[in-house]
Each structure stands twice: as structure tokens, then as C-alpha cells.
Structure 1
């Protein structure tokens, strides 16, 4: 089986998707996140915006190979909020994403099955409203060489259509390239076999 080198994520935040059940209001939010700190700051911001709400339940999934995830019920019965949200993240097969569902209690209890349904549906509606795109999993390499070898390096970059993300071209040149995972080994070997040129994985 060929190793997967793509993943799905969202391009921008999706806000204020409303789901109502028995007077309770559930507001769904989705954010693209790359680490836990970004997730925490979005949650803090929502707590300020919705300071009168009762619960701020969320789930996030970060990473492609080493996945980091968390599901939080924020005071709702165990597994009635965070996991239903997280399961929608899994069912849409997206990563690098945070979904928060803010609940305003409407005075009528929904019961655990009602809560599970409400959080699941809000997360699903939020994801359906999000712009989901597919990206490639890339590996970054640093290529180091003397200025005199510039043409050799540039020729390979051009021929292989490699993506340059940073370059310092002085007497000692450094170029950082980002290569799609399944093409990474080939690119590495080309540079590794060139005289006076060093390549290392970042």
C-alpha cells in the first residue's frame, strides 16, 4: 500500500454556526491550528466573547504523523460533548483543526443522548460550512554549499520543481526546500550525491 502523503485541513476559521435544541443554543466555531497554544488562545478568546455562556466544549487534532488530540467536555456529562465533536473531526478526516461549541443553556435539560446529538450536529454543521482543502505532507531540507556551486544546485531545484522556502545566497549559501513526502528521498539523494554540497533534514 502506498504511503499517504496528503492530509485535509481547513483554510480559515468558520464562526457562529447556530444549532438550537429545546431553547439551548449551540454555537459552532472551527479554527485552523498548528499547536496547542493557538488552540488555547482561540478558546480563551471565545470565553471572553461568550462570557454569559454555560459551556465551552471543544476538541482539536494536530499533526499528520504524530497526532496530538484532545476532547474536553467542560462540565457537561462525561463524553457527551468533547468526544462527539472529536468524532466529527475524524469522520471528516481533517487535522490541524480546533472545533469549539459554545452552549447557552435554555432551561430544559437535554439528557446525555440529547447532548451528544447537539454537540455532534453542531460540529458537523460547522465542518460542512468550512472550506476544507487537501495539502501534501512535506519534508524540509537545508542545502548548504559554496557560492561557486550555485548553478548546480539551482539547476536541480528548477528541474525537479522544488519549493524553496528560504534562501541565503552569500559566500556560504543556504537554501531551505520543502519537498512532498513521497518525492523527498529522491530529492535528498540527488543533492547528497553532488560534490561539495551538503543536505540535511530539518
Structure 2
């Protein structure tokens, strides 16, 4: 099963920073959801093989993965469960939570009681939700590194603008002049540059010094290539 969406390159998206494991029991059947962040389809396929080896004695290892900010590689599998009762409901949870670059395997140990179509859909959906709840989900934003060179009379205003807009300061250098590097969300770069220019009466020199994705995790700024 393949899902294709026509989206532009995302300026922000939710993804998995650290995977987790969630488990539920329905009518004596165990459903174990393992969540893993993945960057490529090869990562996802390697993860599936790892889970199949780990849970080799299970009745089913159903899976879903979605790779790419346009969901270029999105697949799901019922792995022997009745068609549409496992893989698609798992995918619906991923799409509903709007999470990218993620793979989930739900392992089922059969408990001897049939759950029926509706029961399977609910069980696999709930298992994925539990797995996500046990994972660290973050928001990655696309940012531009803005290098600002100013004299000491302008630094207070720039720090005020950065604080007001919650812009991370990546680096600072205080010599005869002050050089700051701010991380600015790509959609805000125009208004931030305008605010700094007006706030310093045009004395600050502004230079865009690359771009990256970033996230604030436990109060710390983490940067990523994509």
C-alpha cells in the first residue's frame, strides 16, 4: 500500500526523536508496538527485519513506515491479518498525528480468542498510540542562521527582539563589535530582519549564514541537516 501526497518542502514537521515501546492486551492477545525514527526507506526495511528476528515466534509483525517530508516512501502491511485490519489503521494513526520519518512494528502474540474485524482495527490503532506515547515526539522547524554584526549600543535591542520572539542565540562574539548568530524560523526571517534594522536604526549588518532544521528539546536547541 502506497500513500503519495503533494506537499511542498515542509517548514516544520513532527517526527520521532527517540523511539519507544508500548503494549496492550486484548482478549489474551498481546500487541507490542515498537516505534523507531527512520531517515531512509533502507532504515525502515532494516528495522522491520530486526523486529521479525526479535519476535520470530509471534503470529504477526504488522508494520507501517513513512519516510520523507513529502511522504515519498509510505508503506503498511497486515502481515497475514485480515485485509485492512492492521496496516491501514496503523497508518491512519501516523497520518492523524501528522508524524514524519517514522516506522512502527506491532507484534501480535495470539491469545486464542478471535477479535473480529472491528476489534483488530481498534487493537492495532491503540497499540500504535501507546507506542507513540512512549516515544519522544518533537517538532522540527526549518530555520535560517542570521549573523548580526553591531556596535554595543544596538545589542540590547537585538537581545530584546530575540527574547520576545524566542529566537535561539547560537553563538556570540564580543570584541570591539558584537557578532551574534540567531536561529530564525524561515517564515519569520523577513519580519525579524526588518525589526532589527529598524530597532538599530540601520546600524546592524545582517547576513544569512545557511539554514538547518532545529528543535528545542528539554530546553536545549538541537540542529539537524534535514
Q: d(CA) in 2 for partners of 1:98 and 1:38?
A: 9
CA RMSD of aligned residues (A): 3.0
The aligned counterpart of 1:28 is 33
2:151 counterpart of 1:159: no
TM-score (norm 1): 0.67
1:65 CA displacement = 3.0
Instruction: Give 1:76's match in structure 2, choosing from 60, 81, 91.
Output: 81
Equivalent runs, 1:1-202 vs 2, <5 Å: 5-15=11-21, 17-65=22-70, 67-137=72-142, 158-159=147-148, 181-182=186-187
Q: Which runs of 4+ in 1 moved over 3 A?
A: 160-163, 178-185
The aligned counterpart of 2:158 is none
Q: 1:6 to 1:27 in 2, by over 3 A?
A: same
Gaps of 5+ in 2: 1-8, 150-167, 171-182, 191-206, 209-226
Q: d(CA) in 2 for partners of 1:74 and 1:138?
A: 40
Corresponding residue SS for 2:100: coil
Q: 1:89 to 1:157 in 2, by over 3 A?
A: same
Residues 101, 123 of structure 1: 8 Å contact kept: yes
Residues 8, 93 of structure 1: 8 Å contact kept: yes
Q: d(CA) in 2 for partners of 1:70 and 1:181?
A: 30
Q: 1:26 to 1:8 in 2, by over 3 A?
A: same
Q: 1:85 to 1:66 in 2, by over 3 A?
A: closer
Residues 162, 179 of structure 1: 8 Å contact kept: no
Q: 1:103 to 1:49 in 2, by over 3 A?
A: same
Corresponding residue SS for 2:99: coil
Gaps of 5+ in 1: 140-155, 164-177, 192-202
1:181 CA displacement = 4.7
1:81 CA displacement = 0.3
TM-score (norm 2): 0.61
